[in-house]
Amino acid sequence: MQLNTQQLALVKQQITRVKAFEGSLYHQKYQNIEAADIQTPADFENLPFTEKDELRAVYPLGIQAVPDEDIVRIHSSSGTTGTPIIVPYTKQDVEDWAQMFARCYEMAGITKRDRIHITPGYGLWTAGIGFQLGCERLGAMAVPMGPGNTDKQLKMMMDLKSTVLCATSSYALLLAEEIEKRGIGDKIHLKKGVIGSERWGDKMRARIASELGVELYDIYGLTEIYGPGIGINCQKEEPMHYWDDFIYIEIIDPATGKVLPDGKVGEIVITTLRKEGAPLIRYRTHDLSRIVPEACSCGSPFPRIDRIIGRSDDMIKVKGVNIYPGQVEDVLKGVAGVSSEYQVMIDHLNGRDIMTLFFEMEPTAEQAVVEAAVGAVFKTRVGLTIVPKGVAIGELPRSEKKSTRIFDNRY
């Protein structure tokens, strides 16, 4: 999905603006780049990426691209794995974020008659305050809980008859389990759950949906790019619509940096089109997904990306093909007779790479049939011929971490 004329014009305006602001990240980074040189989508694809480490390196306010008097607030990434990234917002940025977030709620069929129970944290983090902003813009009633204190969460949820729960997947599961344990399901009025998008399994999804009795929606976003609210799935299908009048998304091969054709899985790279306080150009998110090229059955013109399937840091390359743990899971999920546990072995034998995929099978499954099916689906979806090996349930080691399911014996 190439930049359209309007997006290209916005990118050029943005480059002119960020370059002009002395002391900002891009003033330095774009010394030898002129907006006038960006005439075509191909020119845009030659612009350098912006990396998370570059944002860390200019801590605290080196990504600010407008004068101090125009900044109304900052947010910050958690910084648990190093220097945090501080993101300054102008009044317009806050307005734009609210508009995008309200659209997300609308896309999920939430209206001003809903009561939105918000459990993500408020404060430096973008989550709670973003859910709040969108709720107020929509005109619904916010119940600004923040995280923790399960007793109070459940009491408020019952007393106020909250209809929408906003949470991380793990917190939604915790609440769902608690509701079941206490046998108070009939006092809960939730209809929809809006869950911050990270990779979370189908089993977890099914449990949250059935125990809370809700429809679930994946909302996407990251602190560096406004926060949550830049995309969400609709009531018809799983992939997430995103707001291409505010952000431009490319999918790249994380190893080569080349832009991939629509439909191929790779790393999400985001360019903000209207952001003032801290615009980002070709920012590498390290989240993996793909552009979904088909039009959505809901009729919305907004383009779509698939659910996040993992992080590009987990990628492995076999015979020149990029493979991610999430892809392996998606393939196995779609084949009848296959259970959820798997293990991948990659070896180098007689001058070539061989990938063996071990997976557990349902007791009634016909081994040869299931193996052939897994091999065929893998070839079609991922583009690689593998050696599929079905084993009985319980034969593979259990592990919480996805990374320990892949063994690369080549080096």
| Interface contacts to Zn ion, rule CB under 5 A | 234, 236, 296, 298, 300
Q: How far is the CB of 113 from Zn ion (least distance, A)?
A: 22
Pairing mode, if any, of strands 247-252 and 240-242? unpaired
- Please say which residue, 249 or 346, places its beta carbon nearer to Zn ion: 249
Q: How far is the CB of 306 from Zn ion (least distance, A)?
A: 13
Q: How far apart are the first and last CA of the chain?
A: 37
Ordered DSSP codes for 348-359? EETTEEEEEEEE
Q: How far is the CB of 298 from Zn ion (least distance, A)?
A: 3
Per-residue three-class SS string for 26-88:
HHHHCCCCCHHHCCCHHHHHCCCCECHHHHHHCCCCCCCCCCHHHEEEEEECCCCCCCCCEEE
Q: How far is the CB of 296 from Zn ion (least distance, A)?
A: 3
Which residues are within 8 A (CB) of 386 and not within 5 positions of it... i.e. 6 or more apart? 355, 356, 357, 375, 378, 379
* Alpha carbon distance 404, 401 (integer Å): 6
- Please say which residue, 234 or 331, places its beta carbon nearer to Zn ion: 234
> Per this entry, what is the length of the chain?
411
Q: How far is the CB of 218 from Zn ion (least distance, A)?
A: 12
- Please say which residue, 231 or 390, places its beta carbon nearer to Zn ion: 231
- Please say which residue, 91 or 236, places its beta carbon nearer to Zn ion: 236
- Please say which residue, 100 or 384, places its beta carbon nearer to Zn ion: 100
Q: How far is the CB of 305 from Zn ion (least distance, A)?
A: 12
* Alpha carbon distance 54, 400 (integer Å): 32
The DSSP call for residue 149 is -
Pairing mode, if any, of strands 304-305 and 310-311? unpaired
Quick count: other Cβ atoms within 10 Å of Cβ 268?
A: 24
Gyration radius from the chain CA atoms: 23
| Angle (CA) 253 8 32, round 5° | 75
- Please say which residue, 155 or 236, places its beta carbon nearer to Zn ion: 236
Q: How far is the CB of 239 from Zn ion (least distance, A)?
A: 8
- Please say which residue, 252 or 305, places its beta carbon nearer to Zn ion: 305
